[in-house]
């Protein structure tokens, strides 16, 4: 197990350096210029002023040099400083991360529970009206993008009934109950796409498991149907679902950018949108790198969990 873990971590290093490389390169391709934005309030900034500001921000250095310096900073845990506020990017991410983590955890819990439970119900009641209803809702959930649902939930109730969701964010440390009330709606919207994907896969794998010989044997021995489904069915059918859950984390974090912006949640996603608009390259780079590392770590944890979910799977054997 330990050998497998070390091998996987070492194998991830090239991917990490490639991630950083492409982030640094692609950030420079964002249309617009931060120097022009900073000097937009000036009546007529001259070339000398632009050159001085460019040198002050370190943007006059060749791209390979900036990449090497950035990687060197990352190895020391330094993500650089914001070009606008000179604040440490590491500190900014630490401040804005809690709401995003809360939203992501809540969405994963809602999405995983709803997806697995509905998938099992759909499989057990195959070809019934309940099965068709669940599958129809799942198709609708996959087809409609999160931002459309989030925008509709905010706009239409306000127009039709004068009801609007609470957009004044309260942190968990200030008021846990109010914090949960605020995050439940965006968390459920963010979990919709996740739950529908998990439900469809859970239904498919559950149907396959229910056709296996050991399920028929358990039923022949007089084991209750609930125990057959819960102990023998779900446990074996859930492994591919866990794999998909790990892969869906990246899409979940991507969706949180839009949801946080619509619901005014002061998280990393909203910070990323603001930083892109201001061409604040170090902040954008830091957030994207952190998200990339988190996704890699999540998939590693998912792979390691297989041995615990199914003893027949030997990790690193």
For the segment 278-286, the average pLDDT, to the nearest whole number, is 86
Q: What pLDDT score was predicted for residue 309?
A: 65
Give dist(CA 261, CA 93) in Å, integer. Answer: 16
Q: Domain 97-270 in CATH: superfamily?
A: MetI-like (1.10.3720.10)
Residue with tokens 């009546």: 43
Provide the sign of the torsion angle of the four alpha carbons 194, 197, 199, 201, taken in this order: negative
245 close to 133: Cβ distance less than 8 angstroms: no
Contact 34, 279 (CB under 8 A): yes
As to burial, measured by CB atoms within 10 angstroms (0-12 exposed, 13-18 middle, 19+ buried), residue 192 is buried
User: Does residue 118 surpass a pLDDT of 90?
Assistant: yes
pLDDT score of 44: 63
Q: Looking at residue 119, what is its pLDDT? A: 92
- Which residues on neighbouring strands pair with residue 81, listed in sequence order? 88
Task: Please give the pLDDT value at position 314.
Answer: 58
If you average pLDDT over residues 29-56, what whole number do you get?
A: 69
Q: Please report the pLDDT score of residue 315 as a whole number.
A: 54
pLDDT digits (tens, 9 = 90+) for 159-177: 777 777 777 888 888 888 9
Q: Per-residue pLDDT averaged across 206-226, rounded?
A: 87
Long-range contacts: 2-8, Cβ < 8 Å, 24+? 3/316, 4/304, 4/315, 4/316, 5/300, 5/304, 5/316, 7/316, 8/300, 8/303
Segment 295-306 shows an average pLDDT of 79
Flag whether pLDDT at 311 surpasses 70: no
Residues 198 and 119: beta-carbon distance below 8 Å: yes
Q: Which residues contact 195 (CB under 8 A, 6 or more apart)?
A: 110, 111, 112, 114, 115, 118, 141
């Amino acid at each position: 197990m330990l050998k497998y873990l070390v091998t996987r971590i070492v194998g991830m290093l090239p991917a990490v350096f490639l991630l950083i490389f492409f982030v640094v390169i692609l950030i420079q391709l964002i249309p617009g210029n931060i120097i022009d934005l900073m000097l937009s309030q000036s009546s007529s900034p001259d070339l000398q002023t632009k050159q001085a500001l460019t040198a002050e921000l370190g943007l006059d250095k060749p791209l390979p040099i900036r990449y090497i310096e950035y990687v060197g900073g990352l190895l020391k845990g330094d993500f650089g400083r914001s070009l606008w506020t000179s604040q440490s990017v590491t500190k900014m991410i630490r401040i804005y991360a809690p709401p995003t983590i809360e939203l992501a955890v809540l969405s994963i819990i809602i999405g995983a529970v709803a997806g697995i439970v509905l998938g099992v119900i759909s499989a057990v009641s195959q070809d019934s009206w309940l099965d068709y209803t669940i599958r129809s809702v799942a198709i609708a959930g996959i087809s409609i993008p999160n931002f459309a649902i989030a925008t509709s939930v905010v706009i239409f109730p306000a127009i039709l009934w004068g009801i609007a969701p609470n957009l004044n964010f309260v942190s968990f440390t200030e008021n846990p109950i109010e914090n949960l009330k605020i995050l439940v709606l965006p968390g459920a919207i963010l979990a919709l796409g996740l739950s529908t994907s998990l439900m469809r896969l859970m239904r498919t794998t559950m149907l396959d498991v229910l056709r296996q010989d050991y399920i028929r044997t358990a039923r022949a021995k007089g084991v209750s149907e609930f125990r057959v489904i819960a102990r023998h069915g779900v446990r074996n059918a859930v492994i591919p679902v866990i794999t998909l859950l790990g892969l869906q984390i990246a899409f979940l974090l991507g969706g949180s950018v839009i949801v946080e912006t619509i619901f005014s949640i002061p998280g990393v996603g909203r910070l990323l949108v603001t930083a892109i608009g201001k061409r604040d390259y170090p902040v954008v780079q830091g957030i994207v790198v952190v998200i990339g590392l988190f996704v890699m770590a999540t998939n590693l944890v998912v792979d390691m969990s297989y041995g615990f979910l199914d003893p027949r799977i030997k990790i690193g054997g």
